[in-house]
Homo-oligomer: A and B are copies of this chain.
Amino acid sequence: MRGVVLHGPGDVRVEDRPDPRIVQPTDAIIRVTAACVCGSDLWPYRGVEKSDGPVPMGHEYVGVVEQIGDQVETIKVGDFVVGSFFASDNACEICRAGYQSRCVHAELIGAIGTQAQHARIPLADGTLVATPGMPDADLVPSLLTASDVLGTGWFGAVAAEAGPGKTVAVVGDGAVGLLAVLAARQLGAERVVVFSRHADRQKLATEYGATDILTERGDQGVARLKELTGGLGAHSVIEAVGTQESMMQAIRSTRPGGHVGYVGVAHGVELPGEELFFSGVHLHGGPAPVRRFLPQLIDLIWHRTIDPGKVFDLELPLEGAAEGYRAMDERRAIKTLLRP
């Protein structure tokens, strides 16, 4: 089959890779009908994350089940499925508490590489959720977002305890940040402030329900947000970048007793203990337990209540993956959808 392989910083190739096969009796093989490039794929693409030798890429996916292992019970051949970027048994104590990305049997789908024609999904019954039927073509991009970027933005909003009566701020106007805006509004937030300097992203944020847009960053951004919130800061702040500056901006934007939900994969971040202590904020985040939210998100998409697929502003055949990465790296595209 054909699949995307990263050979080194900036060196994305689409190559022949071995067809996946059932390894464990709990595995399923899917035909990937849509995959995409994640903001977190840019860390190794830019060489910030080092890797030894060529690595298959991709961890977001929707597709049709082609084969199942002997112990797969609920997922059937022919199902259209959405899965999380972590495989999970959805049965252990950690899963049952809603933290499937830290399942005691968790496996990272990134090691498999779903920017490809086919993919082996471990723990299929726990990891995959079937849609009510074959989706209309226009729903596929939105369903694909549920696999990571929407699920991650949603978790950020839940971790930040976005809800009715609250002012929510979003640090980061990438696809995760934009979908965190959508999530905050769905969860009932009264006011959603997004930090953004890019006209196209500001426009989409507004479509998703942002009420205020701030172009300032860092401590200037914090000062402007405080002006908007009677000097107190937001009740809930979603951090969707993962840098030192964005984390400090998020913490400082939050009122005492408020909640920071952080979902940008932390890179080189060191949180100063004293400042955090005296901030009095709640901090929660990490790799989103997307599986927790999949049934709800699929339902919202299936009934066309939300349209998260609008974050894809570039669609390419799988063979065009290199351009898909480049466009996101150069911020010409918010998010690239790949059709295997």
Contacts and interface: CB of A to CB of B under 8 A. Distances in A.
28 contacts: A94-B255, A94-B257, A97-B257, A99-B256, A101-B256, A101-B280, A102-B256, A104-B231, A242-B273, A244-B273, A256-B286, A266-B273, A266-B276, A266-B277, A270-B270, A270-B273, A276-B286, A277-B285, A277-B287, A278-B286, A278-B287, A279-B286, A280-B286, A280-B287, A281-B284, A282-B282, A282-B283, A283-B283
A269 B244 CA distance: 16
- Copies in the assembly, this chain: 2
A89 B289 CA distance: 40
Given A102-B280, A280-B287, A284-B283, A94 B273 contact: no
A242 B276 CA distance: 12
Q: How large is the interface on A (under 10, 10 to 19, 20 to 34, 35 or more residues)?
A: 35 or more
A53 interface: no
A277 B256 contact: no
Interface of A: 93-94, 97-99, 101-102, 104, 230-232, 242, 244, 247, 255-257, 262, 265-274, 276-287, 289
A270 to B, nearest CB: 5
Contacts of A102: 256-257, 280
Contacts of A255: 94
B284 A273 contact: no
A251 to B, nearest CB: 11
A256 B93 CA distance: 10
Given A256-B99, A283-B284, A271 B267 contact: no
A163 to B, nearest CB: 13
B270 A247 contact: no
A77 to B, nearest CB: 33
Contact of A274 (B230, B269, B289): B269
Task: Name, among A98, A270, A276, A279, the residue most crowded by chain B CB atoms within 10 Å (CB to CB).
Answer: A276
Contacts of A286: 256, 276-280
A93 B242 CA distance: 30
A97 B281 CA distance: 12
A93 to B, nearest CB: 6
A214 to B, nearest CB: 21
Contacts of A276: 266, 271, 283, 286
Contacts of A272: 269-270
Contacts of A97: 257
B280 A274 contact: no
Task: Name, among A98, A101, A266, the residue most crowded by chain B CB atoms within 10 Å (CB to CB).
Answer: A266
A246 to B, nearest CB: 11
B270 A266 contact: no
A93 B232 contact: yes
Task: Name, among A247, A257, A262, A266, the residue most crowded by chain B CB atoms within 10 Å (CB to CB).
Answer: A257
Contacts of A256: 94, 99, 101-102, 286
Contacts of A282: 282-284
A287 to B, nearest CB: 7
Nearest to A271: B271
A244 B281 CA distance: 19
A327 to B, nearest CB: 27
Contacts of A101: 256, 280
